[in-house]
């Protein structure tokens, strides 16, 4: 399969970058959450606080969406 061949030839960073690009292009993916994953998690060497930063960003998205939904 072509995807498997490409994945096996790619470095971890290349693979994660391609995965991030596919997420951004997927019409069924939540673009805000995809951007959070790309920014914080989909890294060959994420920072030690990557999960905490991603969690904070997800919480902020949830707060913003709740304000919009509730008219706040």
Tell me the pTM: 0.79
pLDDT level of residue 8 (50, 70, 90 thresholds)? confident
| pLDDT score of 54 | 98
What are the C-alpha distances in Å from 21 to residues 10, 34, 35?
14, 9, 10
pLDDT level of residue 55 (50, 70, 90 thresholds)? very high
Tokens of 29: 């993916």
* 49 close to 38: Cβ distance less than 8 angstroms: no
Average pLDDT value over all residues in the chain: 90
| pLDDT score of 3 | 53
| pLDDT score of 41 | 96
Closest CA to 39 of 65, 8, 60, 64: 60
Residue 2 confidence (pLDDT) above 80 = no
């Amino acid at each position: 399969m072509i995807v498997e061949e490409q994945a096996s030839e790619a470095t971890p960073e290349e693979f994660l970058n391609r995965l991030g690009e596919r997420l951004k292009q997927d019409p069924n993916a939540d673009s805000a959450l995809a951007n959070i994953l790309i920014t914080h998690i989909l890294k060959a060497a994420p920072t030690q606080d990557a999960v905490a930063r991603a969690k904070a960003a997800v919480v902020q998205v949830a707060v913003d969406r709740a304000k919009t939904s509730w008219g706040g």
